[in-house]
Structures are given as structure tokens and as C-alpha cells.
Chain A
Amino acid sequence: MTVKTNLFGVLADIAESSAIEVEGVTTTNDLVREVQKKFPSFHRINFVVSVNRRVVSAGENISENDEIALLPPFSGG
């Protein structure tokens, strides 16, 4: 299964894109593992995952049409 994942902040800067497609994932844990494989520097960033506009904790199931976003902390003021 492929899910579209929106990226924010420094994650979008690293990926040079505000959205990526991630294949072969059924849970948020799979998703995090896959994006970290795709972009190794994501490992060092403490981002949170939102599914259908809700920030979720680890291990949530996801399906194809879910709206997924990865949010790192912002620092600027």
C-alpha cells in the first residue's frame, strides 16, 4: 500500500518536497521506518505523525486514503 505523506518544516527542506509517496506501510511505525530509510537524516529529528488531522502516538494503523503529515518542531520567533 502506498500512502501520500505531507512533510513540514525541516523535513520538507531535507526531502526538497512538501509531499512524498511511501510504499509498503500499514502502520505509522512502518511509515516512520520507511521515511527514515529514504532520508537517513530524519533519524535525528523528533517529528510527530498526524493521521487524518489528529496527532497520534506510535503504532496506529493507516490506510491508503488517510491524510498523513510529519511535523518536526519549529524554532523561529
Chain B
Amino acid sequence: MLSNQDISRYNRQLMLPGFGKSGQEKLKNSRVLVVGAGGLGAPVLQYLAAAGVGKIGIIDHDVVDETNLQRQVIFDEKDIGKSKAEVAARYLTQRNSLISVQPFNQQLTPANVENLFSDFEIVVDCTDNFSSRYLINDACAVMEKVMVYGSIHRFQGQVSIFHLNGQDSPTYRCLFPEPPEPGTVQNCAEAGVLGVLPGLIGAIQANEAIKIITRLGDVLSGKLFMMDALTMESSLLEISRNPNTDSITPATMQEIRNSRYQFACDAPTNVPEITSADLMNRLKNGEKMEFVDVREPDEGPPPNELASRQIPLSELDAQFDDFNPQKTYILFCQVGRRSAWAVHQLKEKYQTGKFLNLKGGIEAWNQKNVE
């Protein structure tokens, strides 16, 4: 039932044809989980909260960083260093006290996905990595949740709806059955992104979620919406259900829990790392360290004031013997994703040894070096 406060607050959408009180009641009773409170998550959360979605969950284990502010418009300067999920939840509650918002300051994993998804009907994918995206897709398939997918690359974005009608609907795996090879697809930290683009794509995701809940219009199930913010061209591509993907999609939550969702195309977690500031202090104290650049030979920029040798990640396993586990190694790349894999591999190989990933990569180091 709508309260008088609901009727007054949501007046402008209540008057829409086909929406009315029943549409608002559906929103009030709906439960939407947003995975990733970043560039896409910011507009999705703002519009879902403003429209009166009754319960909103926010999963993000990261903290606000200065480089987020250019596009993640729900955060401000004083939020830097704070939990994204918690800051976002507080922001939404201040904007709309009639709804309930629950932050989950944790990483989505095969172990916690069932528990986190169980209270929600719709999962909005605002993640920036393939491990989470395939995990969301597979869990939505087993748990029969609708997935509102969005993703961006530089000036382009795409949106689709998966699992709308259970097993009859296309899934993310119908489009891309398996995750990409490491290093072939870049995220925003590596490729760059125009701040407005996730704003546009996230707003479309929020619009789709509201249409699904209120059963208004045609939603992007079986269709992939693509747009280019430079040319302002957009297209709608048909996607069919691909039965061949059934054999590679886990059929039960137990299978999901037993599967590995830490793909090589994303950074591994729990890798020992060092910040640029710490590294600078340790160098000043005269500590001896070896530096290894795992980028490809033609990649720039070179590191400021670090004598390093180059071993591209793709050739690392052939050069394992060049490492001496008695020494301390600092591995780096552009932003720290590939070097995280290098550290991960070296730790597995040597079990002991001091292998550290340079946090934020050469971008962070060179910036620190200028200061």
C-alpha cells in the first residue's frame, strides 16, 4: 500500500500512462541489488532510489579513490578512502528516507553469492571485471534472478537484460561463452573513460530495471543496446539463446561454489603489494630491491628513476629461473593488474620469497615521483 507521503512524493511518475499507483506499489515492493558502486553504479543507485525502489542492496569492497570522482558522481572529496558501499548507502538514505538501503562492504565471491542474492529479485551488473560478471550471470541463472547488464569501453557502452524468463532467455554466456584471454580487454583504469559515458549507460540500466519492475514497455531481453558517445550512433542487436552454453554454465549453487571465478583476465586478490610512497621510503633507506617491468616491450611510459629489467607477463613462466628467492622483487605494469598476476605466479612457484606488486602501477609511481 502506498502512503500519502508516497503519493505526494512520486506524483510525477504516478501520473504517467500505464504507471499509476500499481506501478509505484511494484517499485515499493521491489528489491534490487547493485553490484559495483562505481561509474555505472552511481547513476543506477541515484535513479533507483529516487524512483522509490523499496529495498536497494549495494555490494562493493573498494574504497573511494581520487580518480573515481571524475565519473562516480555520488562521491565527494571528503569520501576519499571510505567504503564505497557505505558512503553510497548513506547518500541514498539522505536523498530518500522512504526506502531501505543495505550496504555490503565485501567482495562478491562464489562462497557468498547465494546469501547476498537471496533477498533480491533483480541484480544490476555495474562491475568492472569479468570474474564478477560471469559469477553474477551464473548465479542469476541458477537462482532465477533477472540480470541488468551494462558495461563500457572508452566512449562506447552496452546494455542488455539476461535471464528475464528463466531458461528461455539469453544469458551473458550466449554472447561471450568464456572470459577473454588475459590482457586483451582493458578496464577503465587502463583504457580511460569519459566521465559522462557511464552516466548515460547507467541511466539506461536504471530505466530498464524500472521497466522490468513496473512491466512497462519493451525491455532489452534478447537485445544488446550499443552506443558510441563520440558519433552518437546507437544500435540494437538481436541475441538468441544459445543452448550450447548450458554445458559450460554451472547448474547448481554447489557447482558455482566449486568453480574458480578468479579469471586471469582480472587481477587476482590477496597479492602482497607495496604503495609508491612506501617504496620511495624504502629506497631512501637504502634497501636493495630488484625491479621487473612485466609490460610488453613497446609499452610506455618508462618508470621514473627505477632501474628495471623487462620480463613481459606472457614470458614470465619461461624465465622463472631468473629469479632469486633470497632477493626482494618489486613487479610493476601500467596500473598493477598484470603485475599482480606475475606476483601471484611467482608466489605459487617459489612458495617463499619477497615478491611485491607495485600498487597502482607505473602510473601511480610516476605521479608520486613528480610530487
Contact = CB atoms under 8 A, between A and B. Distances in A.
Interface of A: 8-10, 13, 18, 44-46, 48, 50, 53-55, 57, 69, 71-77
A46 B186 contact: no
B261 to A, nearest CB: 15
A8 B158 CA distance: 11
Interface residues of B, number: 45
Contact of B38 (A18, A54, A73, A77): A77
B180 A45 contact: yes
A9 B188 contact: no
B235 A10 contact: no
The 5 closest A-B pairs by CB, nearest first: A77-B128, A74-B151, A76-B188, A76-B152, A54-B238
B61 interface: no
A54 B170 CA distance: 13
Given A45-B185, A74-B153, A55 B238 contact: yes
A77 B126 contact: yes
User: Which residue among A8, A44, A57, A73 has the maximum number of chain B CB atoms within 10 Å of its CB?
Assistant: A73
Contacts of B188: 76-77
Interface of B: 36, 38-41, 125-130, 150-154, 156-158, 175-176, 178-181, 184-188, 191, 193, 198, 224, 226, 228, 231, 235-240, 242, 265
27 contacts: A9-B185, A10-B186, A45-B180, A45-B181, A46-B178, A46-B181, A48-B175, A53-B235, A53-B238, A54-B237, A55-B237, A55-B238, A57-B242, A69-B237, A71-B226, A73-B175, A73-B185, A74-B151, A75-B151, A75-B185, A75-B187, A76-B154, A76-B198, A77-B36, A77-B127, A77-B128, A77-B152
B156 A74 contact: yes
Contacts of A8: 153, 156, 226
B184 A44 contact: yes
A74 to B, nearest CB: 4
A30 B367 CA distance: 46
Given A74-B157, A75-B151, A46 B180 contact: yes
A55 B240 contact: yes
A55 B239 contact: yes
Contact of B237 (A18, A53, A72): A53
A74 B181 CA distance: 13
Contact of A74 (B36, B39, B185): B185
Contact of A53 (B181, B236, B265): B236
B185 A72 contact: yes
B127 A9 contact: no
B236 A77 contact: no
Given A55-B240, A57-B242, A77 B41 contact: yes
Given A18-B228, A75-B187, 9 more contacts: A8-B226, A10-B184, A46-B176, A53-B236, A54-B240, A72-B185, A73-B176, A77-B41, A77-B187
